Structure 1
């Protein structure tokens, strides 16, 4: 399974991505989490120590991919190294054996765009289509919609659009979903996050119905998520019995069923 998450800044997509990765790993999947945000925070959200986070290096294209040109000048890309090999050189192994890689990063002030990095992420995700059934790749994207125009998430099995129950966040989802469909993604699902009450839930459902969204989960608001962030901990470690963790676990199971992913035999 190749799952990408997108959403407005502050929607909670990184926390959701991290908890989803840990949940899948605990169920026996072999999980790798790719941080596609140039302001990377996924490793910390997964529960990796500051010391190990400091060891992460951005993965250059050539570490993963080998590009070939045919006689007509058309370019094709193939994996030059396995993801395990790249992890050994550039990544870290987090709790529950979740492998973490940083795929994008700023070049420095005034140093230009990182379009090439986004194209590398897109090509890597394409090559991971041939992964084993027990493999899960979680891609956390930047808090914007530019990665959709670049096609960064073109080669995923499912895109989760994370939204909060207020107008600006819903409007962002309203822009993302049509763009994702234009890319031809096979599954584009909206996840409502930080839902406090039935009024929040109803507002999101009504908005989704008016725009033709498929909303597959409503993750409840939980103050323990904020507490975990203040303490520099992952929410699944800080509050493993939290309603948010349970809801994300149920979401992960639903996604696996929808994508026809077999439950690994541990």
Structure 2
């Protein structure tokens, strides 16, 4: 199941994404975490040291494209692939856990969790590139990811409604919007929910930094039935934010229970591979018309394989085999 954490900047989405990913990993569940936020803090939230490096996905984008292209006859070269290029017959697909060149180059284990990162802005990016050029690598990976029940891809997304700058927001089976009990934070919720409504996004609100019953009532008043659960002010989290990430069993029991509710909500979900494929094709058409055709000098809508639908049925090799 693909899971996104979104919300207002500073709402605590990175913290909750890290807690959720660690909770899954401690239960022995297959999980891959991806930091797709412009502020790359997920590694530290998982317990990694400040300054430790992971090779960003963007630095290996040509290799990633070439690997995923496989021998798909609709894609003439890796250079013709863009962030929205969908898989088709002959494409290489990814499992959450397997041996492949992409994971070998870009995934390391931090705090017991396998992690990939988009990477930060470089000096060369300043003034000439937007962050979505980096997040495009994540979209390409998720387009080619065949994950099943009991497997998890956890993505810490960009703040606010930035996700809607691409079709990335349609790649998830469950989206958790982290919301503080403040007017500004619920404003982000309303904006996100409004944009997502027409796309069948499974959206749940997770309250954060809740201090008392009035905070819960405020969130319930504004989020209604979208409010799934809430996390209280936490001394454990406060210590973690100062650099001491303790064992997860030290997290307050009420907050551990809330993280468990997130897992239950994800596990209750149903993967709609038909919708996943349909939106992949739709956003590829939109991007082709808006900019990609001009950049490639070709009609990239021909990359769409109308007879190919993503889902477990397209897997032809065991997950442990390197293609």
Indicate the TM-score class for this superposition, using the shorter chain for normalisation.
0.7 to 0.9
Q: Matched residues in 1 for 2:129 and 2:190: separation?
A: 29
Q: Matched residues in 2 for 1:79 and 1:154: separation?
A: 21
Q: Matched residues in 1 for 2:156 and 2:115: separation?
A: 11
Q: Matched residues in 2 for 1:71 and 1:240: separation?
A: 48
Q: Secondary structure at the match of 1:139?
A: strand
Q: Matched residues in 1 for 2:191 and 2:43: separation?
A: 28
Q: Matched residues in 2 for 1:235 and 1:12: separation?
A: 18
TM-score normalised by L of structure 1: 0.83
Q: Matched residues in 2 for 1:142 and 1:181: separation?
A: 19
Q: Matched residues in 2 for 1:120 and 1:71: separation?
A: 17
Q: Secondary structure at the match of 2:171?
A: coil
Q: Secondary structure at the match of 1:153?
A: helix
Specify the alignment match of 1:243 in structure 2.
254
Post-superposition shift, 1:103? Answer: 2.0
Post-superposition shift, 1:241? Answer: 4.1
What is the aligned counterpart of 1:192 among 207, 229, 239? 207
Post-superposition shift, 1:13? Answer: 0.5
Q: Matched residues in 2 for 1:69 and 1:76: separation?
A: 13
Structure 2 residue ranges without an equivalent (≥5) = 272-323
Distance 1:236-1:242 versus aligned 2 partners, 3 A rule: farther
Q: Matched residues in 2 for 1:79 and 1:104: separation?
A: 24
Post-superposition shift, 1:166? Answer: 0.8
Q: Matched residues in 1 for 2:2 and 2:127: separation?
A: 33
What per-residue deviation string (whole Å, max 9, x for no partner) do you get for residues 65-110 of structure 1?
A: 33467399995444477664323222211233x1000024324322
What is the aligned counterpart of 2:74 among 46, 70, 73? 70
Q: Which has the higher strand share?
A: 1
Q: How does 1:1-266 map to 2 (within 5 A)?
A: 1-50=1-50, 54-60=52-58, 61-65=61-65, 66-67=68-69, 70=74, 75-77=85-87, 78-79=91-92, 84-85=99-100, 86-96=102-112, 98-108=113-123, 109-128=126-145, 130-185=146-201, 187-209=202-224, 214-230=226-242, 232-234=243-245, 236-237=247-248, 239-259=250-270
Compare CA radii of gyration and give the structure with the larger one.
2
What per-residue deviation string (whole Å, max 9, x for no partner) do you get for residues 148-205 of structure 1?
A: 23222221111111100011111111101121223432x1111111111110001110
Post-superposition shift, 1:238? Answer: 8.5
Q: Secondary structure at the match of 1:154?
A: helix
Q: Matched residues in 2 for 1:81 and 1:144: separation?
A: 28
TM-score normalised by L of structure 2: 0.69
- Asked whether the equivalents of residues 37 and 141 of structure 1 are also in contact (C-alpha less than 8 Å), the reply is yes
- Asked whether the equivalents of residues 55 and 91 of structure 1 are also in contact (C-alpha less than 8 Å), the reply is no
How many residue pairs get aligned? The number is 251
Q: Matched residues in 1 for 2:234 and 2:133: separation?
A: 38
Q: Secondary structure at the match of 2:57?
A: coil
